[in-house]
Chain A
């Protein structure tokens, strides 16, 4: 016992004070891409041609769909004029898919629940996680929220063992054929009122697996989704930021 106590002392206090203070992200962190339209050349389409998921489109100007973006940085690397830079902006959660398409200006970050839902879930939100064709990276970085570093429980959020105990689902993966039925059944098993959160490029748009014959291209093709958290995978802080915004704990 004394050994365990000594070890506890040695390991120290590790919980971050987020959201009051944001811990430093790695210098090379690849977050939200920013476009400098002054530098972007009209007749060039290299970023579009090099994007693995067709996340970049050109209408009047360049649009990047963060729901499709893998944050691989191919656009930045291929741009001859340095017009695209992946920033250290980790906040990437939105209430609709359309909000994740950015051209100019700020990303419209997720708004909090309405009054009724906030009253129901604001202080206690129990989630069931469903991996539907996910690669285990989004799952792993969701799981991390349970460690002492993020200590999800202090926000009243908990992952529970059964959909029957849950207020909502957190879905990862592009929804493979073989998980479609299980996802539908799990969703149905959650009592109303309920919410759904799609985490990662796969669950939002199919990610790298978009249009493969064996996947359904997004969680919202199967069940309604209330919150989209972009990334491949999203950083744990990105996921936590999204959850706290939905609960109105970050504004």
Chain B
């Protein structure tokens, strides 16, 4: 590996932007390719408009074993040789860079829109009206091959997305996923902030991940402004993040049961999920944790009575969710549908850089709470839960393991929550800094990168929801599956549309 080409950072460490090495594009490429080949992952990769004509590409590479992040950059104008042919992990990031700034990754094999919006760059002329999913889809031809198009409006109460299947009979040869329907243009709006709306954008990036995204943002702003958050606030954030995980994982187990027609667990988990959301509401008044995580600490404190009530509810719900999950693992008709359905091979998982539950279901030991601990997770570690089969069963079972560990964690934290204030004063961010903030949301690794300008305002903000990495994983999982297993596979990933579309 070429020395001096990158800088090594810890999670939530901010440095001067000028400390980030700017290397030639060839070195930039070879560094990333070598790093990924040696087991690192691309956590974030984006273009920053340094001047109207010149862009700076930033790449953030995660070394899960060492727990550090390599950051490097390179300057480009309107094109550069694509990384994707040598490093498939880069494929969505390069498509995004092309769509946002019209910087062409030359030689990209699959250069299609990501969110279907006009380029931010003034370099090229505005194209005709852009319509979602109006593009060339991958097509299979031949006798008896047929195409199935689903969405954007789906059958359930679910966000919009378009799925295009190439089928031979019931068999899916290829699935292409086209998103962007939920694109609200959040990232662009953050430039020049923070302002009074910023925290609300973070809370609604993906509404079911309010705590995850808001914590990632707050950690980042606190680092950029050199603010120390009190241990009590850190603990409250940790409790909230695990409650969010509990609610969603429990809901997912119920929904998976529903998708194979096993109604007992489906209806039990639907109700228990609500109980976990109500625990968050007990702390802050809102079921999704709105207002609970704020820059500088926490928006709400808990007293002894709250602690006792939470502990009591937690014990009751552990019992209930235990019974509900146990039914799944002991019902052969459920296991017959879960096992060996929607398999993602571990080597494909690595190549695509999947994160979170789908990655751990392929036996990958990656979890930001463990590998890149910040806040309370520096002091109280949660072991990584993984399974090795890569199928729907593995994705369900990893959720179940994590439910148990999250309950243990919350129990511990409630019993030993440190005294002290919940808020620290937060000043304006320091100028010309960059910071990378990682946190393990319930879907997987959330990465926020913030850059400040000379005035200390955000000059660029990059958000990577775990779904951005993982949608491709779902497409791969569907290969050679029956199309009737799509709902089940989809639910086993349960990815975010709005978190992807931003």
Contact residues of A with B, CB < 8 Å? 3-4, 7-8, 10-11, 14, 26-30, 50-53, 70-74, 128-144, 146-149, 159, 161-163, 173-174, 176-179, 181-182, 186, 207-209, 212-215, 232-233, 235
Cβ of B264 under 8 Å from chain A: yes
Instruction: Decide if A3 touches B155 in the complex (CB within 8 Å).
Output: no
Q: Mark each residue of chain B from 206 to 244: 1 if its CB lies under 8 Å from any CB of chain A, else 0.
A: 111010000000000000000000000000000000000
User: Would A149 and B184 be within 8 Å (CB), given that A135-B205, A138-B207 are in contact?
Assistant: no
User: Would A235 and B287 be within 8 Å (CB), given that A10-B323, A178-B116 are in contact?
Assistant: yes
Greatest chain B CB density within 10 A among A3, A163, A186 is at: A3
Instruction: Decide if A148 touches B185 in the complex (CB within 8 Å).
Output: no
Instruction: Decide if A11 touches B320 in the complex (CB within 8 Å).
Output: yes
- Top 9 nearest A-B pairs (CB, nearest first) are A137-B207, A135-B207, A28-B285, A161-B155, A147-B270, A214-B185, A135-B204, A208-B200, A178-B132
In Å, the complex CA distance between A233 and B287 comes to 9
Instruction: Decide if B180 touches A178 in the complex (CB within 8 Å).
Output: yes
Instruction: Decide if A208 touches B274 in the complex (CB within 8 Å).
Output: no
Interface of B is mostly: loop
In Å, the complex CA distance between A173 and B152 comes to 14
Residues of chain B lying within 8 A (CB to CB) of residue A235: 287
Instruction: Decide if A137 touches B210 in the complex (CB within 8 Å).
Output: yes
CB within 8 Å of A: which B183-205 residues: 183-186, 189, 196-197, 199-201, 204-205
Instruction: Decide if B286 touches A208 in the complex (CB within 8 Å).
Output: no
Instruction: Decide if B206 touches A26 in the complex (CB within 8 Å).
Output: no
Instruction: Decide if A177 touches B288 in the complex (CB within 8 Å).
Output: no
Nearest CB of B to A72, in Å: 6
Residue of A nearest to B197 (CB): A52
User: Would A129 and B157 be within 8 Å (CB), given that A148-B270, A149-B271 are in contact?
Assistant: yes
Query: Which residue of B117, B270, B323 contacts A7 across the interface (Cβ within 8 Å)?
Result: B323
Instruction: Decide if B268 touches A7 in the complex (CB within 8 Å).
Output: yes
User: Would A147 and B327 be within 8 Å (CB), given that A7-B264, A30-B286, A212-B184 are in contact?
Assistant: no
Query: Which residue of B184, B264, B267, B330 contacts A133 across the interface (Cβ within 8 Å)?
Result: B184
Cβ of B290 under 8 Å from chain A: yes
Which of B17-25, B59-67, B276-284 interfaces with chain A?
Answer: B276-284
CB within 8 Å of A: which B241-295 residues: 264, 267-268, 270-271, 273-274, 278, 281-288, 290-291
In Å, the complex CA distance between A76 and B300 comes to 14
Nearest CB of B to A193, in Å: 21
How many of chain B's residues have a CB under 8 angstroms from any CB in A? 62
Instruction: Decide if B184 touches A176 in the complex (CB within 8 Å).
Output: yes
Query: Which residue of B184, B201, B270, B283 contacts A146 across the interface (Cβ within 8 Å)?
Result: B270
Instruction: Decide if A26 touches B282 in the complex (CB within 8 Å).
Output: yes
Residue of B nearest to A142 (CB): B157
Query: Which residue of A4, A136, A137 contacts B327 across the interface (Cβ within 8 Å)?
Result: A4
In Å, the complex CA distance between A207 and B185 comes to 14
Cβ of B406 under 8 Å from chain A: no
Contact residues of B with A, CB < 8 Å? 115-117, 131-132, 152-153, 155-160, 180-186, 189, 196-197, 199-201, 204-208, 210, 264, 267-268, 270-271, 273-274, 278, 281-288, 290-291, 300, 320, 323-324, 326-327, 330-331, 496-498, 501
Residues of chain A lying within 8 A (CB to CB) of residue B290: 70-72, 232
Residues of chain B lying within 8 A (CB to CB) of residue A132: 160
Residues of chain B lying within 8 A (CB to CB) of residue A186: 153
Nearest CB of B to A77, in Å: 9
User: Would A135 and B268 be within 8 Å (CB), given that A50-B196, A208-B197, A212-B184 are in contact?
Assistant: no
Residues of chain A lying within 8 A (CB to CB) of residue B274: 144, 147, 149
Instruction: Decide if A136 touches B200 in the complex (CB within 8 Å).
Output: no
Instruction: Decide if B181 touches A176 in the complex (CB within 8 Å).
Output: yes
Residues of chain A lying within 8 A (CB to CB) of residue B501: 176
Query: Which residue of B158, B183, B201 contacts A178 across the interface (Cβ within 8 Å)?
Result: B183
User: Would A174 and B184 be within 8 Å (CB), given that A7-B327, A30-B286 are in contact?
Assistant: yes
Residues of chain A lying within 8 A (CB to CB) of residue B288: 137, 140, 233
Instruction: Decide if A131 touches B160 in the complex (CB within 8 Å).
Output: yes
Instruction: Decide if B153 touches A130 in the complex (CB within 8 Å).
Output: yes
Can you give 13 contacting A-B residue pairs, CB < 8 Å? A3-B327, A10-B323, A50-B196, A72-B291, A136-B207, A137-B204, A139-B158, A139-B207, A146-B270, A162-B155, A178-B183, A182-B160, A214-B184
Instruction: Decide if B200 touches A141 in the complex (CB within 8 Å).
Output: no
User: Would A213 and B197 be within 8 Å (CB), given that A11-B320, A159-B157 are in contact?
Assistant: no
In Å, the complex CA distance between A139 and B200 comes to 17
Residues of chain B lying within 8 A (CB to CB) of residue A144: 270, 274
In Å, the complex CA distance between A139 and B158 comes to 7
Greatest chain A CB density within 10 A among B160, B278, B282, B287 is at: B160
In Å, the complex CA distance between A53 and B197 comes to 7
Query: Which residue of A30, A52, A136, A207 contacts B497 across the interface (Cβ within 8 Å)?
Result: A136
Residues of chain B lying within 8 A (CB to CB) of residue A209: 184
User: Would A26 and B184 be within 8 Å (CB), given that A137-B208, A137-B210, A139-B158 are in contact?
Assistant: no
Nearest CB of A to B270, in Å: 4
Instruction: Decide if B182 touches A134 in the complex (CB within 8 Å).
Output: yes
Instruction: Decide if B182 touches A173 in the complex (CB within 8 Å).
Output: yes
Instruction: Decide if B196 touches A52 in the complex (CB within 8 Å).
Output: yes
User: Would A147 and B185 be within 8 Å (CB), given that A135-B206, A136-B496, A136-B498 are in contact?
Assistant: no
Instruction: Decide if B286 touches A70 in the complex (CB within 8 Å).
Output: no
13 further interface pairs, Cβ-Cβ under 8 Å (given A131-B497, A136-B207, A212-B186): A30-B285, A71-B286, A129-B157, A131-B160, A136-B206, A149-B274, A178-B115, A182-B160, A186-B153, A212-B185, A214-B183, A214-B185, A235-B287
User: Would A7 and B185 be within 8 Å (CB), given that A136-B496, A178-B116 are in contact?
Assistant: no
